[in-house]
């Protein structure tokens, strides 16, 4: 079983594109659907902002399917910087470096948190109130 996700040309996960627990026999079919159908549709919606479906890619996450079997390894906070406006730190989770940003005072009217993978630059979680945020509720 594997997890596939569609990544746009800017390195962000396309909302609704994460497919979990895919049997190995279906990987090629799901990958083709993400690249041919989902990427084309999403890129056309964001074409005014330079999105091009040819720049999208599918990533495979083997560790997500094994999450129940393997305990999560969370390293200590490093590189911590705190000001009156923001709080930054990095932390390794299962050996992958992540950057955490807690924005305490924001032009958006409320505090929020963002988490990015440092190895790929991919935004993986965000709680900002912007309606165009890929993680907006």
Averaged over 59-71, what is the pLDDT?
A: 59
pLDDT, the chain, mean: 82
Please give the pLDDT value at position 48: 78
pTM of the model: 0.48
Q: What is the pLDDT of residue 81?
A: 85
Delimit the domains of the chain by residue range.
2-65, 78-126
Under the banding of pLDDT at 50, 70 and 90, the label for residue 28 is very high
Give the pLDDT mean for 126-136.
Answer: 75
Given a cut of 50, whether residue 24 has pLDDT beyond it is yes
Kindly write down the DSSP assignment for every residue of the chain, as one continuous string.
-EEEEEE-TTSPBPTT--EEEE-GGGHHHHHHHIIIIIHHHHHHHTGGGT--GGG-EEEEEHHHHTTTTS---BPPPEEEEE-SSEEEEEEEETTEEEEEEEESS-TTSS-EEEEEETTT--EEEE----TT-TT--
Give the pLDDT of residue 72: 66
pLDDT band at 136 (very low <50, low <70, confident <90, very high): low
pLDDT per residue over 73-97, tens digit each? 778 888 888 888 888 899 888 788 9
């Amino acid at each position: 079983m594997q997890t596939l996700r569609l990544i746009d040309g800017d390195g962000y996960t396309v909302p609704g594109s994460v497919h979990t627990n895919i049997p190995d026999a279906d990987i090629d079919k799901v990958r083709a659907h993400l690249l041919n159908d989902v990427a084309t549709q999403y890129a056309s919606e964001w074409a005014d902002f330079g999105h091009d479906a040819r720049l999208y890619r599918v990533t495979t996450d083997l560790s997500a399917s094994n999450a129940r079997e393997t305990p999560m390894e969370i390293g200590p906070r490093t590189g911590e910087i705190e000001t009156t406006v923001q709080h930054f730190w990095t932390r390794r989770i299962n050996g992958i470096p992540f950057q955490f940003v807690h924005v305490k005072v924001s032009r958006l009217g409320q505090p929020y948190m963002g988490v990015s993978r440092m190895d790929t630059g991919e935004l993986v979680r965000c709680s900002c109130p912007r309606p165009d945020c890929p993680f907006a509720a």
